[in-house]
Amino acid sequence: MDTKRIALAIMDAALNAADPYMAVRRNLGFVNGKLAVSGEEFEVSGRIYLLAFGKAACAMAGAAVDVLGEKLEEGIIVTKYGYAGNCPQKPNLRVIEAGHPTPDENSLLGAKLGVELAEKVGPDDILLVLISGGGSALFLLPEEGISLEDKIKTNELLLKSGAKIYEINTVRKHISAVKGGKLAKRVRGTVISLILSDVVGDHLETIASGPTVKDPTTFQDAYRILKLYNVWEKLPESVRRHIDRGLNGEAEETLKEDLPNVHNFVVGSGTMACDAAKKKAEEFGFNAAVLTTTLEGEAREIALAIGSIVQEIARYDRPVPKPAVLIAGGEWTVTIEGKAGLGGPNQEFALSIARKIAGLNAVVLAVDTDGTDGPTDAAGGIVDGRTLEKLEKAGIDVEEALKRHDAYHALERAGALLKTGPTGTNVNSLVVAVVPRNSGEG
């Protein structure tokens, strides 16, 4: 098997480990008539309702439906356009496809229906909430006085600002009627949330902006972030007005205490995906190392850092001797100023690292585990030591492409786009670097 196929096989192993259906099945069942969740048991004396939202909502809901069977009273599933193919088809389930990363009218509809469902839950009932990445945009209900258009504008400004995902979600929570634990506050019965983590460090309050989790951030934090990234003055007036009200104590803060009826469980994460990638690499006979599962930063810059380690291995057999595989997980960003081309953080990572590994016998892929990197049909990019030469022969100025954030078209010319289609999961981004023993294996 050649080096590129090995890299792709390692990626597939990581994606399989993050399979949302199996994540739910491993953590949900019945024991002696009680609902068993991650080792804990809950009495089932009333009805069970289901609310799933995020890019992995359908697969997670499918597992829950298989477990709950006739005990499931009613459910709402909200997922991204094109992701509903594997949704369970039941007369008591309603499936809604909505916009991501930019929310739309269906995002608003899904959240309204979700709130209506949550408010049906009686004191003896259970609301099973299945949360995965993308939930912040897909499950959206602005605070009173903020329009969908103003929320979309705010979201676009944040996504282009270079702010980290937890910073973006800090703002989102403070202009939302469901995020930051506000959904959980509406439920009278038991809330059980199974969460597929797509954020660095698996911080529950950040995943999908924490609709069922207490939130340590404040209106002051949201204001500081907006000022730090020069977004405040560009915000719609309604958003600034609401945050000003919060700063003055006139608007409701996010949830600040643990609620006794709310139970949150992480059932899948980027860490699990990286561990599976390492195991697969070792099965191929490679010396494998997980560098980190918390990689963050500007995509093009951290690509150069990872590329430097690949160089060190190729030339000096350190810090991991050849044949070697390096694995890293996390969430990298792209700061856009002015007009941009087409691409995403993983495509920009791949294009940038192509400069650093030029001439080496190595393959590096960077992939968004949900199968969609930025507003494109690519999941990321896969490059090797010959990619830079191919780009130059095609007349592509790599530095200019990076400056214009037009990685998609550059990688396309080099045959280096990585397209997986929707994967059904979402556990951050993943980098796999393969350095074979000698040139004969490249």
CATH code of the domain covering residue 368:
3.40.1480.10
Q: Are residues 297 and 372 in the same domain?
A: yes
Write down the pLDDT at residue 30. Answer: 96
Burial class, 80, CB count within 10 angstroms (exposed 0-12 / middle 13-18 / buried 19+):
buried
Q: Are residues 297 and 425 in the same domain?
A: yes
Q: Are residues 55 and 189 in the same domain?
A: yes
Q: Are residues 295 and 258 in the same domain?
A: no
Q: What's the domain range around 327?
A: 270-435
**Pair of tokens at residue 296:** 């963050």
Beta bridge partners of 353: none
**How many Å apart are CA 66 and CA 72, to the nearest integer?**
10
Q: Are residues 274 and 263 in the same domain?
A: no
Task: For residues 97-112, give the mean pLDDT.
Answer: 93
**How many Å apart are CA 214 and CA 208, to the nearest integer?**
13
In tens, the pLDDT along 273-329 reads 999 999 999 999 999 999 999 999 999 999 999 999 999 999 999 999 999 999 999
Residue 51 lies in a domain: yes
Write down the pLDDT at residue 442. Answer: 41
Question: Is 132 in a helix, a strand, or coil?
Answer: coil
Residue 228 lies in a domain: no
Q: Are residues 110 and 96 in the same domain?
A: yes
Residue 323 lies in a domain: yes
Q: In the chain, what percentage of residues exceed pLDDT 70?
A: 99
Q: Are residues 55 and 126 in the same domain?
A: yes
**How many Å apart are CA 8 and CA 333, to the nearest integer?**
23
Please give the residue that has the higher pLDDT: either 157 or 423. 157
Q: Are residues 258 and 346 in the same domain?
A: no
Burial class, 140, CB count within 10 angstroms (exposed 0-12 / middle 13-18 / buried 19+):
buried
Residue 400 lies in a domain: yes
* Cβ atoms 91, 65 nearer than 8 A: no
Q: Are residues 75 and 106 in the same domain?
A: yes
Q: Are residues 367 and 389 in the same domain?
A: yes
Measured in Å, how far apart are the chain's first and last C-alpha atoms? Answer: 10
User: Which DSSP letter does residue 33 get?
Assistant: T
Task: For residues 112-125, give the mean pLDDT.
Answer: 98
Residue 394 lies in a domain: yes
Q: Which of 138-142, 160-164, 398-402 has the lowest mean pLDDT?
A: 160-164
Q: Which helix (H) or strand (E) holds 344?
A: none
Residue 170 lies in a domain: no
**How many Å apart are CA 367 and CA 247, to the nearest integer?**
39
pLDDT of residue 235 exceeding 80, the answer is yes
Residue 147 lies in a domain: no
Residue 162 lies in a domain: no
Q: Which of 204, 233, 268 is the last residue of a domain?
A: 268
In tens, the pLDDT along 407-434 reads 999 999 999 999 999 887 889 899 999 9
Where are the alpha helices (H) located in 341-397, listed in sequence order? 345-356, 387-393
Write down the pLDDT at residue 85. Answer: 87
Q: Are residues 99 and 205 in the same domain?
A: yes
Numbers of helices and strands, H then E, in the chain: 15, 15
Write down the pLDDT at residue 200. Answer: 83
**Pair of tokens at residue 343:** 């691409």
Please state the domain count of the chain: 2
Mean pLDDT score across all residues of the chain: 94
Confidence of residue 139 (pLDDT cuts 50, 70, 90): very high
> Which of 378, 362, 361 lies closest to 370, judged by CA?
378
Confidence of residue 440 (pLDDT cuts 50, 70, 90): very low
The CATH number of the domain holding residue 78 is: 3.40.50.10180
Beta bridge partners of 287: 324
Burial class, 413, CB count within 10 angstroms (exposed 0-12 / middle 13-18 / buried 19+):
middle
pLDDT of residue 439 exceeding 60, the answer is no
Q: Are residues 204 and 308 in the same domain?
A: no
Confidence of residue 129 (pLDDT cuts 50, 70, 90): very high
Q: Which helix (H) or strand (E) holds 242?
A: helix 237-247
